Amino acid sequence: MGFCGGDPAPRTRLAALAAIAAALSAGIACAPVSGPRDPSDPWERMNRGTFRFNEGLDRWVIEPVAKGVDFALPDPVERSIAKFFVNSRIPIHFGNALLQFKPVSAVEDLARFLVNSTIGFAGFFDPASHIGLEAHQEDFGQTLGVWGVPAYPYLVLPIFGPSSPRDAVGLAADSFSTVYPWFVPLYVPFAIGVGDRLNWRSLKLDEIASEREAALDYYVAVRNAYLSYRENQVRDQKDEVTDDEDLYYID
């Protein structure tokens, strides 16, 4: 249950690669789905296929490379790099906080960006948190959520992983509204995205390995975690009473 912290997926314009991956994964036989259908996952058969493709990609390519990264860099350095990537996305978070009518979060994000980009050495350190400026990490998927678009149906994207139509649109919108890639060759944002992803993965080696091994059904565990995590991000009023009749009272 440790899929928390940081953005769910690094964002770059990997459209071309994603298309290739989609074509590849379509050719992989889907697992037969047994048991009741989850109402939030009507595409379970297809999703399980894509999930299996992503797992294969991770096992044979991403995880081994991430292990190399982990071997080369000490954890505090990796965490610092992760902070740099998060900081570089704050302008996106700022814009989305505004679109969600959260001026306080927007101002706080802006202040974080200014503090961390300067005395935080381009974002590698996070002095803003030490002076009580909280991170908000609003993205366009969450903005659509605040506007009333639900997080389901669940959709597993090739390479990018767990998502939904809402969050896929959000991912695309956030990528296109990032200004700098329009002024540099395509491989720059691409390389940044890959770097972000590999660094993130190298921080999650233990976590993901033990989740994989412990789960009775890893696909379902990830789906539940993703949908709950996103819903929680959209809600983000942490003090909201959430008495969940279905979950906590079964008689």
Cα dihedral: 144, 150, 155, 156 (round 10): 60
Distance CA 165, CA 150 (A): 9
With binding defined as CB under 8 A, does residue 147 bind another protein? yes
Q: State the binding string over 59-78 for another protein (x if CB under 8 A, else -).
A: --------x--xx---x---
3-class SS letters over 17-74: HHHHHHHHHHCCCCCCCCCCCCCCCCCHHHHHHHHHHHHHHHHHHHHHHHHHHHHHCC
- Cα–Cα distance for residue pair 30/27, rounded to 1 Å: 9
Contact range with another protein by CB under 8 A, out of 49-57, 110-118, 189-197, 199-207:
199-207
End-to-end CA distance of the chain: 27
Give min distance, CB of 18 to another protein, in A.
26
Nearer to another protein, 164 or 175 (CB): 164
If the CB atoms of residues 57 and 221 are measured against another protein, the closer one turns out to be 221
Answer yes or no whether residue 45 interacts with another protein by CB under 8 A.
no
Determine, following the binding rule CB under 8 A, whether residue 117 of this chain makes contact with another protein. Answer: no
| Smallest gap from residue 196 Cβ to another protein (A) | 17
DSSP 148: T
Does residue 178 bind another protein (CB under 8 A)?
Answer: no
Q: How far is the C-alpha of 1 from the C-alpha of 215, rounded, in Å?
A: 10
Distance CA 38, CA 139 (A): 26
Check residue 239 for interaction with another protein (CB under 8 A): yes
Residues at the contact surface with another protein, assessed by CB under 8 A: 1-5, 34-36, 38, 67, 70-71, 75, 79, 100-105, 129, 135, 146-148, 203, 205-206, 209-210, 213-217, 220-221, 223-225, 228-229, 231-233, 235, 237-239, 241-243, 247-250
